[in-house]
Amino acid sequence: MQERAISHALINEASVPHIDTESQFTLIFQKYYKRIYNYINYRVNCHFTSEDLTSQVFEKTMNKIDTYSPDKSPFEVWLFAIARNVVNDYFRSQQRRRFFSLDGFKELVSGRKGPESLAIQGEVNDRLQQALETLSARERNLIALKFGAELKNTEISELLDITVDNVGIILYRTLKKLRKTLGSVEFE
């Protein structure tokens, strides 16, 4: 509850007259960057693309901050709705093209781990990515919101306009499906 009060204070100039708009946006950016990035990275599975899309989210947030209404939804829900729309737009623009990604290769090579651990981690990541691809878009989105963005079920239910119980049930079934698909993969 305190987080929401802070968020409302950050975007409401009347409640914090001594903080200018740029400072407010800086505070919002610092508070939400990691969670927005994690959500997007869960969805697109590429560090470089995730960074680009995260910057688009904050650009849109900055341009549309005056349209936010606390009466409609909590700030966090509004912000993640923007993130979800940016990711959906990205996937639409890709039109399901799946080619070899140089960005993914750069990310793999730039790690500080040794070649053997990189190969093992790469295999685990590939297997996890394949398992995630067996899920529906809705299930992947829920996983990304829950584990990437670290949203609570109540926040996810507000964002997706479904009941909290339905969020819990879908997550439970989705995780069960992932466990079955993955079998006994060891994660480091």
SS3 (DSSP) at 166 = helix
Other beta carbons within 10 Å of 142: 22
Number of domains in the chain: 1
**Environment class of 102 (CB within 10 Å of its CB; exposed 0-12, middle 13-18, buried 19+):** exposed
Q: CA of 71: how far to CAs of 67, 68, 101, 104, 124, in Å?
A: 12, 9, 43, 41, 44
What pLDDT score was predicted for residue 173? 92
pLDDT in tens, 131-187: 888 888 888 888 888 888 888 999 999 888 899 999 999 999 998 988 888 874 444
What pLDDT score was predicted for residue 52? 94
Q: Is residue 98 part of a domain?
A: yes
Q: What is the pTM (predicted TM-score) of this model?
A: 0.62
Q: Is residue 161 part of a domain?
A: yes
| 45 against 55, higher pLDDT | 55
Cα–Cα nearest to 126, from 101, 151, 152: 101
Q: Is residue 188 part of a domain?
A: no
Q: Is residue 187 part of a domain?
A: no
At 3, is the pLDDT very low, low, confident or very high (cuts 50, 70, 90)? very low
What pLDDT score was predicted for residue 74? 92
Pair 51, 38: CB distance under 8 Å: no
Q: Which domain range does residue 112 map to?
A: 2-182
For range 32-58, the mean pLDDT: 93
pLDDT in tens, 89-116: 998 888 655 554 545 545 555 555 566 6
Q: Is residue 133 part of a domain?
A: yes
| 36 against 22, higher pLDDT | 36
Q: Is residue 15 part of a domain?
A: yes
Q: Is 111 left (phi over 0), alpha (psi -120 to 50) or beta?
A: beta
What pLDDT score was predicted for residue 13? 40
